[in-house]
Amino acid sequence: MNRRILLKFGGNALSDKDDMNRFAQDVCTISNAGFTPVIVHGGGPEISAEMERRGMKALKVAGLRITDIDALHVAEEVLKSLNSEIVQVFQKAGCSVQGMSAEGIITASKKPPVLSDGKEVDLGYVGDVASVNPQSIDSVLMSGNIPIIYPICSDSNGLKLNVNADTVASGVAKAAGASEMVLVTDVPGILNDGKRIPSLTLADVDNLIHSKVITGGMLPKVEACRAALLNGANTVYMLNGKEPHSLARRLINGEDCGTSIMVE
C-alpha cells in the first residue's frame, strides 16, 4: 500500500506540546502502515500574537487575514520559525522530514477583493492557488522525507503572498496526487447545534453554508475540502487534534471520529 495523504494542521489544533508530540507519533505510525504523508501547517494564532506584540492590529474578513506588507513579513518570519520547531518535533518522534515553504510547489495569484457587509475589501498580499508543481513534492518524497510545508507562496513574478493554509493544503494535495486529505482542527468535526456530523456530501456542505451553520473560519476549511475533492481526492476528513491518536484511529482502525466529506 502506498496511499498518499495530505495532512493539514493549524496552531489552534496542536498548541499543546503533548498534542503535537502525539500527532508526530501518529504520522510515524501511519507512515509505517503504508501511507505516504505530506504535511501543511498554518500558524494563525502565533502570527496574531506576534503582530499584537509589535503593536499591529490583526484583521480578518470571511476567515481570511488582511495582510499588508508589514503583516506579510511577520507572517513569513513566524511561519518559518514555527516550521523549524515542528521539524524538530517530528525528528524526535523518528520521522524523516524536510521543512519548506510552499514556494516552488504552488504559484499563487493575488486574491480578488472579498465581500463583507455588502462592501468589497482588498485583502492585500493574500493569494489564491493558480497552479501547482508536482515535481517539487515528488523529489522530497523520493528522497525518503516527509515534506512539512508552510503557506508562504509567490506569484509568477516572484512576489510573495500569504495564502490561507487550508487553501494551500488543497493545492498541495493536488500536486501530491493525494487520495485523501485530513484537516486537523481543534473541534470534533463539523458541528450542527453542538453535535458532530459524521459524514457529509458537498451538497450537504452547501446547505450548511446557506443556513449559516458553517461560517467564519470554518468557511476556508470547507472550501479547501471542496477543492481537494474536485481535484481528485476521494475523501476529506476533519479530525480533532486534541483527541488522542484520532489520526491513527481514523485511518488505520477506521474508527468513526471527526467528519468525513465526499463529493456525493
What residues form the annotated binding site? 43-44, 65, 162
User: Across the strands, what pairs with 235?
Assistant: 180
Q: In whole angstroms, give the CA distance from residue 131 to residue 156.
A: 10
**129 neighbors 171 (Cβ within 8 angstroms):** yes
Q: Are strands 106-110 and 127-132 parallel, antiparallel or unpaired?
A: antiparallel
CB atoms within 10 A of CB 245: 16
Q: In whole angstroms, give the CA distance from residue 254 to residue 264.
A: 20
Q: What is the dihedral of CA 161, 226, 257, 213, to 10 degrees?
A: 90
Q: In whole angstroms, give the CA distance from residue 239 to residue 234.
A: 16
Q: Among residues 255, 235, 234, which one has the least CA distance to residue 244? A: 255
Q: In whole angstroms, give the CA distance from residue 252 to residue 244.
A: 14
Q: Among residues 225, 230, 227, which one has the least CA distance to residue 261? A: 225
Q: In whole angstroms, give the CA distance from residue 227 to residue 218.
A: 14
Where is the binding site for substrate, in residues?
43-44, 65, 162
Q: In whole angstroms, give the CA distance from residue 174 to residue 38.
A: 11
Spatial CB neighbours of 34, under 8 Å, sequence gap ≥ 6: 1, 2, 3
